[in-house]
Amino acid sequence: MKTDTNSLGQPIGFAVPAWKPPAVPARTTMAGRYCRIEPLNPDRHAAELHAANALDRDGRMWTYLSCGPFENLESYRKWLDGVYGGADPLFFAIIDSASDKAVGVASYMRIEPASGVIEVGHLAFSPHLQRSRAATEAMFLMMRNAFEMGYRRYEWKCHSLNAPSRAAAERLGFSYEGIFRQHVVHKGRNRDTAWYAVIDSEWPVLEATFKHWLDPDNFDAAGKQKTRLSDLTREALAHS
């Protein structure tokens, strides 16, 4: 990456001419082929989300999240009521296009327009959403929206021991940036946090990669992918 030098001969960061901070994300719907993402509404989504989450009978999806598991719909609805109206995190429900039901939750968080930085987090994907085309498309839609708004950096952070989350970040084209040791106390235990990010200069090639993978022609009659997204993103970033 380019580095400039000042009049004292010191290396300094490259110029960002006419930088204009982007707006804060709005509560708008993002629509795709396999899913749509709409502002979280407990009245509309609580029962569907709880039913989808209940398919995870051993509570595995909650291990690395700051909330859950929830004993019943009432306790889950109470949590949703406490978070859905906030601006940061800004919560969305992920709606499966085939069933028209809410099957997951995601949010924009740690939103810093002045620096052009935004994070995707609070990912609670029910078993119905996990490892599906809709799950990948949901992450694509949120990433695309952030970069189209003018954000320069899109972050993914997770528990360093959360191997599935770390693998998902790399599959989606995020670059690993390191570990923040003893970052937070998580459910009474230490959490070291792994940091990942995509920057705006990488987005054009990643966008093309997502579109290629999500195209129905990339799947055979049984729904099996012909080309893995991880292979596509790795190759795209190597040549970006």
Is residue 8, in this structure, part of any structural domain at all?
A: no
Give the span between the Cα atoms of 106 and 150, in whole angstroms: 20
Residue type, position 123, single letter? L
Is residue 2, in this structure, part of any structural domain at all?
A: no
The pLDDT value recorded for residue 226 is 96
The pLDDT value recorded for residue 2 is 72
Asked whether the predicted pLDDT for residue 144 surpasses 70, the reply is yes
The predicted model gives 216-221 an average pLDDT of: 96
Give the span between the Cα atoms of 102 and 92, in whole angstroms: 10
Q: What is the DSSP letter of 54?
A: T
Asked whether the predicted pLDDT for residue 200 surpasses 70, the reply is yes
Q: What is the DSSP letter of 225?
A: B
Is residue 4, in this structure, part of any structural domain at all?
A: no
Percent of the chain having pLDDT more than 70? 100
Is residue 27, in this structure, part of any structural domain at all?
A: yes
Q: What is the CATH number of the domain that holds 41?
A: 3.40.630.30
Report how many domains make up the chain: 1
**225 pLDDT tier (thresholds 50, 70, 90):** very high
Q: DSSP for 84-134, please give it.
A: TT-SSSEEEEEEETTTTEEEEEEEEEEEETTTTEEEEEEEEE-TTTTTSHH
Asked whether the predicted pLDDT for residue 238 surpasses 70, the reply is yes
The pLDDT value recorded for residue 179 is 98
Q: Which domain does 29 fall in, by range?
A: 23-238
**198 pLDDT tier (thresholds 50, 70, 90):** very high
**26 pLDDT tier (thresholds 50, 70, 90):** very high
Question: 86-114, pLDDT tens digit by residue?
Answer: 999 999 999 999 999 999 999 999 999 99
Is residue 215, in this structure, part of any structural domain at all?
A: yes
Decide: 13 and 4 in contact? Cβ < 8 Å. Answer: yes
- State pTM to two decimals: 0.95
The pLDDT value recorded for residue 169 is 98
**214 pLDDT tier (thresholds 50, 70, 90):** very high
Q: DSSP for 8-46, please give it.
A: TS-EEEPP-TT--PPPPPPS--EE-SSEEEEE--HHHHH
Is residue 102, in this structure, part of any structural domain at all?
A: yes
Question: 126-139, pLDDT tens digit by residue?
Answer: 999 999 999 999 99
Is residue 93, in this structure, part of any structural domain at all?
A: yes
Percent of the chain having pLDDT more than 90? 95
**60 pLDDT tier (thresholds 50, 70, 90):** very high
Is residue 154, in this structure, part of any structural domain at all?
A: yes
